[in-house]
Amino acid sequence: MRQNADTLVIDTVEKLAALITEKRASRKVYHEEHQRITNEVSRLQEAVNKSKNNYEQALEHYKSSKTKYEDQYLKGKPGRKLDELKERYQKACKKLHQVHNDYVLLLCEAADYERDFRTVLLPGLLEYQERVQEDMIDKWRSLLSEVCELTDTTQGRYAQLQAEVASAVSAISPKTEYSSFSETNKSSPPDPVSFEFCNELLGDGVGSLQAGQLAVDSLTVDSLRLRLNDIEHSLREVTTQLREKQNLLNQHETEVVNIKTNSLQDSNIGSRLAVLKRASDVLRRELNELRCRESWLQHQHRLIHDPLAALGCEEAPQPWEATQVNGDSHQRSDSLSLKSRSAAIKELLRKPFNRSKTSDSQASTPPTPTRANTEERATEPDQNSLLEMTPGGQAEVPQAVNGVQELTYDPDRCLEDEPWFHGVLPREEVVRLLVNEGDYLVRETTRNDEQQIVLSVCWGSHKHFIVQTTPEGHYRFEGPAFPTIQELILHQHGCGLPVTNKSGAILRNPIFRERWELNNDDVELRDKIGRGNFGDVYKARLRDSGLEVAVKTCRVTLPDEQKKKFLQEGRILKQYDHPNIVKFIGICVQKQPIMIVMELVPGGSLLSFVRNHKGQLTVKQMMGMCLDTASGMAYLESKNCIHRDLAARNCLVGHRSIVKISDFGMSREEEEYIVSDGMKQIPIKWTAPEALNFGKYTSLCDVWSYGVLCWEIFSSGEVPYQGYSNTKAREMIDSGYRMLAPPNTPEEMYQLMLKCWQYEPENRPHFSDIYAAVDSIYAPL
């Protein structure tokens, strides 16, 4: 009895505690997954409402612009004002068509998700939870049986009671138990949410736009093709994920069959079966979601691809029908009749939308790269030579007189070439440049879908003045008007008077573009070589020097907040100079798209490199890659820079297989950084527990990620925690699980990985120590 009691306390109770913990974790996972897929419906509802509001605003702006342009044209007064009204109408029409398409595609996405939410995702999550709970009931039955055996010391009439208890325990059916529970406690299914095109948006004067149908014409064909490329890229990614997860599920099922065939007696085999079953259940649920996503993307692909394929020509649709007005019999003989004027308006309004080399739409979309055979460079230039080869992209900088910059006006120089014009540099970046009282610069911004020129001045605080346009097409603030913005700024700088009486701001010192602020036209985009979070990555050439570079572009359609994050990478990179950090050359903000120019690293991403060379790399070569990364990270740590996204996909391989750290889009120049904007884009399987749980980032979080990166190198680019979702991997890490060493990993290197994966950050080594440790392993090889 004593021996049984000890077993009951030590072994059985421990199993019971583990089962309770597993039950709580399962409930947490279920609630989190349920909340995630439910929140997506709410997010889509909000997005549709926002898109509808944008549609209404674009429609009002379009009708207003159309009326003003028509009225001005009918007055028979050609001039700058008519040209401006024509340009505004042209932009408003294009904006309306694009907003219409965005609204139609969003409704398609929302309706597909809502349908699958009710018919696939929620039922699939419930089935997964049922299987998990049935497994737990089976474990609970085993525990009860164990308790019956350990407490069965009865004799006489009590033996019959004990037998009845044991019989009742063996009669427990996991499927019956949980089915009756779920039937009793199930909630009502969610009410269907309707996502339909609001027909009230379409009325008179919107041309060929139709409810629920994409507008496919010269105003939208380029943006639709870009959207189609994005969808095709996403489809390829989803297809790859489906294939990988299906293969993994097939492997699990094959292993289960082999285990059952060989033996059922070994207890370890029984536990292995349980692990395989749970992993298979997770994979089935993830496969369901991926199939739904594939279906959504295919629907959107058909919605765009079919009308594009059927498009015979790219002639613009008739933008509007001019109102027929009875003519005045006493018009001058040299003026058009109203009828002929109406026809002329139609013809005139058709022309701006025909494709031409000088159309404004060309300036708002990234140029298409053209392939060219370029000669590989044998050596890598250093940072100074890279900068020396970059084009200036500026007018000659005037000299300062008595501490004040003297400005000159050259009528042959356009606004973009003025050294104090900073293009589309975001306001946050402008504030960084304007430090002293009277510092100023000129930039371009978009407000209410219109491009506007803004004068930014440091005067007490930072003040921003929109350059006003007179009816005659001149430019002014509160004083006199001038034919060009350059003359206006020159006058305001020289007169010493406030820009506005209310602000009192006086222009004293123009802030010129820094050397690394390049002109967009100085960069010739060639081959597309990748895709980033903010846009595409191109192989490019600097026109003046012929230097081959890599260029990251920022999608024009991104909100200003995202563009600010995009430029943050350039601001961080330009301060660093290290052989294992990708070198910064410049940024292009004179016009859209915004671009970051960096050195071209020919080997591509480290992840692709180790995958493509699987089985070909020696241990010494792989250790060298770990050493390069440690060197670069030790440098960043010394600069108080937290990378936050260290992974093989974000490192590049240069000449002689030198690894260079790249992708600083999530980086922060702080000793400690607390995330306050959610965890939407956090790479879960590479991120340290304290960052996931509390949003707290330090360089020791990068140390954790470095351990995962080394594992990627030695596993030839395998996915960490393969076969497990982010949530499951996170649970396993919190419970103490660590990945096994990949084949051919030196034992000392694996022990270093384990040190990097210490749960408490203070127990992890710093990068200076890591570099020394990796170097000691690498040197004897």
Query: Residue 709 falls within a domain, yes or no?
Result: yes
645 labelled catalytic: yes
Higher pLDDT, 406 or 566: 566
User: pLDDT at residue 603 above 80?
Assistant: yes
Q: Are residues 649 and 526 in the same domain?
A: no
Q: Are residues 718 and 637 in the same domain?
A: yes
Identify the pLDDT of residue 297.
92
pLDDT digits (tens, 9 = 90+) for 661-701: 988 766 554 455 444 444 446 788 999 999 888 888 889 99
Give the separation between CA 452 and CA 447, rounded to whole angstroms: 7
Average pLDDT, stretch 533-555? 86
Tell me how crowded residue 266 is: count the other CB atoms within 10 A of its CB.
11
CATH of the domain at 673: 1.10.510.10
Q: Are residues 36 and 99 in the same domain?
A: yes
Q: Are residues 239 and 264 in the same domain?
A: yes
pLDDT digits (tens, 9 = 90+) for 284-333: 888 988 999 999 999 999 999 888 776 533 333 333 333 333 333 333 33
| Range with the poorest average pLDDT among 124-128, 460-464, 590-594, 769-773 | 590-594
Residue 119 DSSP label? I
Domain endpoint, select from 474, 494, 510: 510
User: pLDDT at residue 88 above 90?
Assistant: no
Q: Are residues 1 and 140 in the same domain?
A: yes
Query: Residue 208 falls within a domain, yes or no?
Result: no
Identify the pLDDT of residue 402.
37
Q: Are residues 174 and 45 in the same domain?
A: yes
Q: Are residues 272 and 168 in the same domain?
A: no
Q: Which long-range contacts (CB under 8 A, 24 or more apart) does 445-450 make?
A: 448/61, 449/58, 449/61, 449/91, 449/92, 449/95, 450/88, 450/91
Q: Are residues 562 and 633 in the same domain?
A: no
Beta pairing partners, 69: none
pLDDT digits (tens, 9 = 90+) for 510-527: 998 877 778 888 888 888
Higher pLDDT, 340 or 301: 301
Residue 377: left (phi > 0), alpha (psi -120 to 50), or beta? beta
CATH of the domain at 478: 3.30.505.10
Q: Are residues 500 and 521 in the same domain?
A: no
Mean pLDDT (the chain) is 79
pLDDT digits (tens, 9 = 90+) for 452-471: 899 999 998 899 998 988 88
Domain endpoint, select from 599, 627, 659: 599
Average pLDDT, stretch 603-612? 92
Query: Residue 676 falls within a domain, yes or no?
Result: yes
Identify the pLDDT of residue 681.
63
pLDDT digits (tens, 9 = 90+) for 249-262: 888 888 878 877 76
Task: Report residue 725 CA to chain centroid gap.
Answer: 20
CATH of the domain at 258: 1.10.287.160
Cis peptide before 593 (omega within 30 of 0): yes
Q: What is the pTM of this model?
A: 0.46
Residues 6 or more apart whose Cβ sits within 8 Å of residue 119: none
The residue type at 712: E
Higher pLDDT, 331 or 210: 210
606 — pLDDT class (breaks 50, 70, 90): very high
Q: Are residues 52 and 180 in the same domain?
A: yes
pLDDT digits (tens, 9 = 90+) for 478-512: 888 999 999 999 999 988 899 998 889 999 999 98
Give the separation between CA 91 and CA 219, rounded to whole angstroms: 10
Average pLDDT, stretch 631-655? 91
Angle (CA) 745-748-751 rounded to 5° is 90
Query: Residue 369 falls within a domain, yes or no?
Result: no
Strand locations in 532-599, DSSP E? 536-542, 548-553, 584-588, 595-599
Domain that holds residue 68: 1-199+340-350
Helix, coil or strand: residue 108 = helix
Give the separation between CA 621 and CA 613, rounded to whole angstroms: 11
Identify the pLDDT of residue 314.
32
Q: How far apart, in Å, are the Cα atoms of 500 and each of 466, 506, 641?
A: 11, 9, 42
Average pLDDT, stretch 166-174? 85
Looking at the 3D structure of the chain, how many domains does it have? Answer: 5
Domain endpoint, select from 573, 599, 625: 599
CATH of the domain at 561: 3.30.200.20
Query: Residue 370 falls within a domain, yes or no?
Result: no
Q: Are residues 113 and 178 in the same domain?
A: yes
Residue 105 DSSP label? H
Four-residue CA torsion sign, 417, 421, 424, 426 = positive
Identify the pLDDT of residue 749.
96
Query: Residue 375 falls within a domain, yes or no?
Result: no
User: pLDDT at residue 705 above 90?
Assistant: yes
Identify the pLDDT of residue 666.
60
User: pLDDT at residue 434 above 90?
Assistant: yes
Lookup: tokens for 339: 């009828």
Residues at the annotated binding site?
529-537, 552
Lookup: tokens for 696: 């707290």
Give the separation between CA 549 and CA 533, rounded to whole angstroms: 19
Q: Are residues 144 and 220 in the same domain?
A: no
Query: Residue 612 falls within a domain, yes or no?
Result: yes
What percent of the chain lies above the pLDDT cut of 70?
A: 82
Active-site residue, selected from the candidate residues 645, 702, 734, 769: 645
| Range with the poorest average pLDDT among 132-141, 216-225, 388-397, 744-753 | 388-397
CATH of the domain at 138: 1.20.1270.60
371 — pLDDT class (breaks 50, 70, 90): very low
Identify the pLDDT of residue 331.
35
Tokens 């052989």 identify what position?
579
Residues at the annotated binding site for ATP?
529-537, 552
| Range with the poorest average pLDDT among 45-59, 123-137, 171-185, 490-504 | 171-185
Query: Residue 752 falls within a domain, yes or no?
Result: yes
Identify the pLDDT of residue 740.
92
